[in-house]
Chain A
Amino acid sequence: MSAVLRPSVEDLRLIGFYLGRVLTGLGLLMLVPLPLAAVLREWNALSALLLGAGIALTLGALADAHLRSRRQLGWSHGMVVVALAWIVGSAVAAVPMHVSGRFADPLAALFEAASALTTTGMSVINDLDHLEASMNLYRHLLQIAGGLGILIVVLALFSAGGSRVSTLYVSEARDERILPNVLRTSRFIARVTVAFGVAGTTALAVALLAAGFGPWRAVEHAVSLFFSSFSTGGFSVMQSSMIAYHAPAVEVVVLLIMFAGMLSFGLHHAVWRGDVAEVRRHVETRTLALVGTSLLVLLTVGLVRSGTYGDVTAILRRGLFTLVSATSSTGHQVNAGDTYLSDWGVLAPAALVGAMAIGGMASSTAGGIKALRVALAVKAVVHDIRRFLLPESAVVVTTYHVGRRRILRPDVSRAATTVLLLYVVSFLLGTMVALTYGGLDVTQALFEAVSVGANIGISIGVVQPGMPSWLQLVYVVQMLLGRLEFVAVLVLVGYLLSFVRTPRRRRRPS
C-alpha cells in the first residue's frame, strides 16, 4: 500500500459529479410512482416519495452545478463511483422508506433499499400486506434499476457517451461486452427489457385474470412481478410471495421470466441476431445445464426421500420453481420460509444452497458466483491436472466458448478463482456472524448467509423485522459485496485507507 497516493480534491470532485448523476437518476425514479399515489390518494406515500426525490434531485443538481470537471474519468474513479453509487444510492433510496414508518430504524430502511438495489429481495418491512400500492411499486422499481445497473442506465442516457461511460461499464461487474459501444449496449439491454416487459407483463396479467384477480389488481401485480422477476430481485407484492396466487399458469410465466433474467445479455444478443447455436456452445449454458440438472436430481431425491410431497406434480411445482428461483437469484418463494427447515429434510435445502451459491450467468441481472466463474475455475483445475499427467514438454491449451472460442489464460482463471474464493469467504463470514446470534443452527445461518451474499433473497426465517442491528449491517455489507463482486468495494476501501495511511504527494517545483 505504500505506493497508494491520496486522492486529491479534484478526484473527489469528479467522483462527486458522477455520483450526482446517479442520484439524479434515482430522484427521477422516485417520481415515477407519484401519479399512481395521486390517483389512489395515497398522500403520505406521495409526500415520502416527493421528499426523497427532492433530496436526490437537489444533490444531483448541486453536483452538476459545482463539481463539473473537464478531467477524464479514470478506471479507479469509475470503480469508486460504482461502489459509492450503490452505497449512497441505497442511503438516499431509503429516505422514503424510513419516513413511511414501516421500518424499525434507519438501518432497517437502508437494509430494504440495499436489498432492492442489489436485487437481493430480502425484506424487513412491517405489514407489507397493507402497504400503499405506490410505495410497493417504488420497491419494485428500485429492483429493476439495480438489476439492470443503475449506472449503465443513468449514465448511458444522460452522458454524452464515449470513453468515460465505458470505463464505468467495465467496473460494474459485467464481464462481457455485448456490443463495442456502451450506448449501443445500453440501448440493446433496454430493448430486450422492454420486449420482455411487454410480453411478460401481458402474459402475467392474463394469467392473473384467469386466476381470479380483478383487472386493476392483475395489472398492478403483473407489473411488479415482472420487475422483480426479470431483475431477479424477488420482492413480492404480498408477504406470502408466490403462495398468494395458487395458479400454475402464473408460476410458469414467472419461471420463464426468471429464466430470461438469469441469461447473459450476450446470449440474448446472440438469440436476437439468430445465432441460436451460440446458446448450445456457450460455456455458461453448458455449465448451468449440467449443474442445474444435477441439483434438480439431488433436490428431487431429497424431497422423495423425506416424503415431503406425495406426487410428482407437487415435487415439480414446488421443487423446480424453487430451484430456478434460487439459481436465477430471484428468491420468489412458493413455500413458507421456515418449511425449508421443518419440512424439506436435509438434502433438498443443501441442493438449494448450492444453486444459490452458483447463481446465474455473468452479464445478466442474476447474482451468485456466476456460472462463468465456476466453469473457468473447474477448467483451470482440469488444466492443471492435465499438465501433471502429460509429459513436461507437452503444451496444454484449455479453451472455453463465450461469444467465440477463447484460450483460458492464467490471469483469467486467477481472476475467476479469486472472486469465487471471496464469495466463499463472504458466505462463511456471514454464517459465523449469524451463529453468534443465539438460537440459530448452522443450517439456518449458512442458508441465510449464502442467500444474502449471493443476492438471492430466499429466507429461512433469520431475516425479519426486529433482527439484531449488527447482523443487519453485516448482511447489508454482504449484499453490496455480492452485487459489486468485491472489486469495486475493495478499491473504495483502498481509496478510504489512503486518506489514513499515505502521505500526500507534494507538487514538485517545475
Chain B
Amino acid sequence: MSGAARTSGGAAGGTVGPRGGRTRWALLGAVALLVALVGLASALDRAAPRAERSAPAIADLPAPVLDAPIPCRRSDPDEVVTALADRLRPGRITAAIVVACPRLFDGREVVHVGEVVGDVLRRDGGAWVTLNDDPYALELGPFGAHRERAGFNTGLSVWLPDGLHEDLGPAGRHGRRGAVLRVEGVLRRADPADGGGLTVRAVSAEVLAPSTPVTAPVDRTLATAAGVAALTAAAAGLHARRRRRG
C-alpha cells in the first residue's frame, strides 16, 4: 500500500506551487457536483406524476394458505414438514410461501392466482406461463402510472394444457397488465417434464381479469430536464471543440 502510494506521489510529482490552493477547491467542487447530481435525480423522482394504482385490484382474492412463509430445510425430518402441513388452511399458495419450503407442497393440489407475465410459450400439448402473485400483479398494477415500490416480482411457472391457454391475450410487460388467472393444479417440486423445475401443472384455469393495456403519463418535468441536459451537452461539446481548435 505504502509502496503504491509512494509511487503515486513520485509519478504525480507532488509539487504544488502557487496553484496548490486550488487542489482542495477542485476536490470540493467534484464532491459538490456529485451531491447536486443526486439532489437533481431525487427531485425529479419526487416530481413525477403518480396515480394510486395503474390497474384495478383483483377482487375476492382467496386468502393465502399461510399468513407468512415458513422456511424449512432439506435436512429437516419428514415429521417436521408433516407438522407444518397441519398449519395450512384452504386458500391460494404464493411463490414466497412455496420457495421457503417446497417439500411442504410437493405433489399437493394447489390454487394459485397470478398475472401472466413475459410470454406465453406455446408447445406441444400446452403452454408455459409465469404467474406473478406480487402486489404489482394483484393489487397495484404495473409500476409506472403508480410509483409505489412493493419489492421484487414473485411468481411460479405454470403448465397450462391445451384448452386453458388459448384466450389469455398478450402477457404482462411494460405498458400492459397480463391476464390474471386462478389456476388449480398439482405442484411439482422437481418436475421431470421441466428438467427438475418447480412447477404447477394446471388442471383448470379461470381468467379473473383480462389482459389490459396500462398507460403511464408522460413526465413533463423529466422531459424538460432531459431537453435542457441535451442542449447543455451540445453546447459543452461545441465549447470543447472550439477550445481544442483554438
Select the residue from B48, B73, B122 with max chain A CB neighbours within 10 A.
B73
| A343 touching B103, Cβ below 8 Å | yes
| A239 touching B155, Cβ below 8 Å | yes
CA A23 – CA B44 in complex, angstroms?
21
User: B127: which A residues are within 8 A, CB to CB?
Assistant: 212
| B152 touching A239, Cβ below 8 Å | yes
Given A126-B149, A487-B4, verify A61-B14 contact (CB < 8 Å): no
Of residues 335 through 362 on chain A, the ones whose CB sits less than 8 Å from some CB of chain B are 335-339, 341-346
| A4 touching B17, Cβ below 8 Å | no
| A47 touching B222, Cβ below 8 Å | yes
B223 at the interface (CB under 8 A from A): yes
| A211 touching B121, Cβ below 8 Å | yes
| A61 touching B233, Cβ below 8 Å | yes
0/1 string, A166-178, CB within 8 A of B gives 1? 0000000000000
Neighbour of A98 across the interface among B6, B14, B45, B118, CB < 8 A: B45
| B75 touching A345, Cβ below 8 Å | yes
B87 at the interface (CB under 8 A from A): no
Q: Give the number of chain A interface residues (Cβ < 8 Å).
A: 115
A505 at the interface (CB under 8 A from B): yes
CA A64 – CA B144 in complex, angstroms?
37
Of residues 150 through 188 on chain B, the ones whose CB sits less than 8 Å from some CB of chain A are 150-155, 157, 172-175, 177
| A102 touching B143, Cβ below 8 Å | yes
Closest to B141 in A: A130
CA A457 – CA B157 in complex, angstroms?
22
A496 to chain B, nearest CB (A): 9
B72 at the interface (CB under 8 A from A): yes
CA A98 – CA B147 in complex, angstroms?
12
User: A341: which B residues are within 8 A, CB to CB?
Assistant: 71, 73
A398 at the interface (CB under 8 A from B): no
| B232 touching A54, Cβ below 8 Å | yes
| B157 touching A12, Cβ below 8 Å | no
Q: Give the number of chain B interface residues (Cβ < 8 Å).
A: 102
Given A4-B6, A95-B41, verify A465-B195 contact (CB < 8 Å): no
User: A53: which B residues are within 8 A, CB to CB?
Assistant: 229-230, 233
B77 at the interface (CB under 8 A from A): no
Of residues 30 through 44 on chain A, the ones whose CB sits less than 8 Å from some CB of chain B are 40, 42-44
Given A74-B11, A79-B4, verify A99-B41 contact (CB < 8 Å): yes
A7 at the interface (CB under 8 A from B): yes
Instruction: Given A59-B33, A126-B151, A308-B190, output 9 extra A-B contacts at Cβ < 8 Å.
Output: A3-B9, A6-B16, A48-B222, A57-B237, A65-B239, A238-B118, A240-B153, A243-B130, A497-B5
- Residues of B at the A interface (CB closer than 8 Å) are 1-2, 4-17, 19-20, 22-24, 26-27, 30, 33-34, 37-38, 41-42, 44-45, 48, 71-75, 95, 99-103, 117-123, 127-128, 130, 132, 134, 136, 142-144, 147, 149-155, 157, 172-175, 177, 189-190, 192, 194-198, 216, 218-219, 222-223, 225-233, 236-237, 239-240, 243-244
